[in-house]
């Protein structure tokens, strides 16, 4: 019975680690590279009829050019609210309202800004690794409470460490990829 619990715990740990990596990928998606990406607007919420609503739920977002995003609301009455949400966000991009939609033109990144963004990516990466290690620690503690034989416990602890190594390596690969993307002009 305890081995079944340990197997279930391993599956749960892996699922949590995978979710941590996906959360990190979402965070990376909101970091601006040299190209327009609708994910930049992932964290923009619009006050739509008194409810804070994600922008992507009330408008279509496209990238007609490499350096431009176009936001077309499903309801034209939301145009001013969307414009206000973008202005008050941390994007730092001035919205251009053309009456039917909003254009966001992304200026080219300076070398200094690219290096700063790489530092942000590395900071997020470290947070992702810490999350994975915390999951490992919690898993190890839960495993030790199962009162397994010494050999079984050692084997499961090694399995948890192998999962941790696997997901830390995945975080490193995503970080390297995002950093290279940022430094590519």
Cα–Cα separations (whole angstroms), residue 122 to 8, 41, 71, 142 = 32, 21, 30, 30
Token duo for residue 23? 């959360």
Class of the domain covering 38-105: alpha beta
- 69 exposure class (CB count in 10 Å sphere: 0-12, 13-18, 19+): buried
- What CATH number has the domain spanning 2-30+110-183? 1.10.132.20
The pLDDT tens digits for 106-136 are 877 788 888 888 898 999 999 999 999 999 9
Write out pLDDT tens, residues 137-170: 999 999 888 888 889 889 999 999 999 999 999 9
The pTM for the full model equals 0.70
* Domain range list for the chain: 2-30+110-183, 38-105
Identify the band that residue 99 occupies on the pLDDT scale cut at 50, 70 and 90.
confident
Per-residue pLDDT tens digits for 34-84: 677 787 888 889 888 888 988 889 999 888 887 888 989 998 888 888 888
């Amino acid at each position: 019975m305890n081995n079944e619990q340990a197997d279930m715990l391993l599956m749960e740990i892996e699922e949590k680690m995978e979710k941590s990596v996906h959360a990190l990928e979402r965070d990376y998606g909101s970091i601006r590279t040299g190209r327009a990406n609708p994910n930049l607007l992932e964290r923009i919420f619009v006050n739509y009829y008194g409810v804070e609503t994600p922008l992507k739920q009330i408008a279509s977002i496209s990238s007609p050019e490499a350096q431009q995003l176009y936001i077309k609301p499903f309801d034209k009455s939301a145009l001013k609210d969307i414009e206000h949400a973008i202005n008050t966000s941390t994007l730092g991009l001035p919205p251009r309202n053309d009456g039917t939609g909003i254009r966001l033109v992304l200026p080219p990144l300076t070398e200094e800004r690219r290096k700063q963004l790489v530092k942000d990516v590395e900071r997020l990466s470290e947070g992702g690794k810490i999350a994975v290690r915390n999951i490992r620690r919690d898993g190890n503690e839960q495993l030790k409470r199962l009162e397994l034989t010494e050999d079984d416990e050692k084997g499961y602890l090694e399995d948890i460490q192998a999962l941790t190594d696997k997901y830390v390596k995945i975080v490193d690969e995503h970080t390297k990829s995002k950093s290279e993307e940022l430094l590519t002009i």
